[in-house]
Amino acid sequence: MRYMEKSLPIVKVDNLKFGYVKNGILALKGISLEINQGDFIAILGQNGSGKSTLVRHFNGLLQPTGGSVMVKGMDTRTTPVSKLAASVGYVFQNPDHQIFCASVWEEITFGPKNLKLPKDVIEANAKEALKIMELEGKENRHPHSLSRGERQRLAIATVLAIKPDVIILDEPTGGQDKARTEKLMKLLQELNAKGHTIIVITHDIELAAEYAQRIVVIFDGGLLLDGDPHAVFLEKEKLRQTFLTVPDIFAFTHTIGIKVPALSPAQFVEDFRKLKMA
Ligand SMILES: Nc1ncnc2c1ncn2[C@@H]1O[C@H](COP(=O)(O)OP(=O)(O)OP(=O)(O)O)[C@@H](O)[C@H]1O
């Protein structure tokens, strides 16, 4: 069921601060951000800038040290993680931090069972997720006997089986080849078109440019940039500060004076074709 309260942001982050107790690191230094239903966001930033720490607040894995995070109007500090899990699914950067069952089938049905979904819905969701992630026929395998790429896809499938409003993927393309990466990003686009809010953490600015409608750049625990890819890519100074380089095709088409610079080579070719036909 998609979130219908359109007047409210689906996730509202207000002056979020977070410090890790064990080493005293202040990972988030006061971030404010509103995520709307249907957004497709790429979160960029250097290693250790706070990207994972930020998104782990969205499903209650972490609780704010200061400020607040509201999900569908629910304060994550007072809402059980099990309730948040029905709305926000988080795919870990390392699938082995997520996978713990003895078989693929157990793994894929664990989340829906925990949410006490009806048996037939659990089965249907699990089968659909396995099909989408091309893991059919591997139901009885031990997850740790799968390849790294397959384990990554299983981790994604476990979240898809819950059908949460918000799907967060922490560097989902690690361990996937180019074809699979493209397939995964296209799948995320389809899920987005069905109303799911998609948040992808990535170091791949080209990927962000091609698929995301909004780019958020985190720098040293703070929000450096937030906007559509064109607006963000024009902020050269700020991007330089965090060692991000705009995609070559954007830089090229911007330099030669194209009014709306291309975000991907495919888009450039498409724009050029249209121009020729006009
Ligand atoms: N479990 C933890 N315990 C203590 N400190 C942590 C923990 N996780 C992250 N940190 C620290 O918090 C800061 C932010 O880390 P975080 O993992 O959120 O960054 P990131 O932008 O996701 O990095 P990467 O791109 O490397 O995944 C870093 O200084 C990191 O060392």
pLDDT tens digits for range 98-119 = 888 999 999 999 999 998 899 9
pLDDT of residue 1: 42
Give distance in angstroms: CA of 105 to centre of ligand 1.
31
* Average pLDDT rounded to a whole number, residues 128-149: 92
Distance CA 131, CA 120 (A): 16
50 alpha carbon – ligand 1 mean position (Å):
6
Asked whether residue 145 is assigned to any structural domain, the reply reads yes
Range of the domain at 258: 247-278
Ligand 1 centroid, distance to 12 Cα (angstroms): 21
pLDDT given for residue 231 in this prediction: 95
Residue 171 sits in a domain whose CATH number is 3.40.50.300
pLDDT band at 274 (very low <50, low <70, confident <90, very high): confident
Examine residue 3 and state whether it is found in any structural domain, yes or no.
Answer: no
Tens digits of residue pLDDT in 206-265: 999 999 999 999 999 999 999 999 999 999 999 999 999 999 999 999 999 888 899 999
Q: Is the CB of 112 within 6 Å of ligand 1?
A: no
Mean pLDDT (whole number) for 132-161 = 92
97 ligand 1 Cβ < 6 A? no
Q: 24 in ligand 1 pocket by Cβ < 6 Å?
A: no
What does the pLDDT read at residue 93? 85
Asked if the model's pLDDT at residue 2 lies above 60, the reply is no
pLDDT digits (tens, 9 = 90+) for 32-89: 999 999 999 999 999 999 999 999 999 999 999 999 999 999 999 999 998 999 999 9
For residue 7, is pLDDT > 70? no
Q: Is the CB of residue 8 below 6 angstroms from any atom belonging to ligand 1?
A: no
**What pLDDT score does 142 carry?**
95
- Same-domain status, 80 and 170: yes
User: Which pLDDT value is given to residue 257?
Assistant: 87
Please choose, from the candidates 120, 140, 129, 55, the residue with its C-alpha nearest in 3D space to the C-alpha of residue 90.
55
229 and 264 inside one domain = no
Split into its structural domains, the chain has a count of 2
- Return the structure tokens found at 203: 């170091």
Q: Does residue 168 share a domain with residue 156?
A: yes
Prediction ipTM score? 0.98
277 CA distance to ligand 1 centroid (A)? 50
What is the predicted pLDDT for the residue at 148? 86
* Whether 169 and 60 share a structural domain: yes
Residue 179 in any domain: the answer is yes
Q: pTM of whole model > 0.95?
A: no
Closest CA to 56 of 24, 91, 86, 82: 91
If you write DSSP's letter for every residue of 64-111 in order, what string do you get?
-SEEEEEETTEETTTS-HHHHHTTEEEE-SSGGGT--SSSHHHHHHHH
Residues 133, 265, single domain; the answer is no
| pLDDT (tens digit per residue) in 169-189 | 999 887 778 888 898 899 899
Compute the distance from residue 123 Cα to the ligand 1 centre, in Å: 36
Q: Is residue 103 domain-shared with residue 20, that is, in the same domain?
A: yes
On whether residue 6 sits in a domain, the answer given is: no
Same domain, 77 and 208: yes
Q: Let me know if residue 252 belongs to a domain.
A: yes
Supply the pLDDT for residue 69.
98
Query: For 199-205, what is the mean pLDDT?
Result: 95
Ligand 1 contact via 49 beta carbon (within 6 Å): yes
Residue 272: half-sphere exposure toward Cβ, Cα within 13 Å: 9
Q: Are 235 and 270 found together in one domain? A: no
> Pairing between strand 74-75 and 88-91?
unpaired
Task: Check whether residue 74 and residue 208 sit in a common domain.
Answer: yes
Which is higher by pLDDT, 64 or 152? 64
- The answer on 62 and 90 residing in a single domain is yes
Could you tell me the pLDDT band of residue 271, with boundaries at 50, 70 and 90?
confident
Same domain? 88 vs 179: yes
43 contacts 199 by C-beta, under 8 angstroms? yes
CB of 169 within 6 A of ligand 1: the answer is no
Task: Tell me: do 170 and 255 sit in the same domain.
Answer: no
Domain assignment present for 125: yes
**Residue 102 domain-assigned (yes or no):** yes
Q: Whose CA is nearest to atom 12 of ligand 1?
A: 27
48 lines ligand 1 (CB under 6 A): yes
260 is a domain residue:
yes
Query: What band does 5 get if pLDDT is binned at 50, 70 and 90?
Result: low
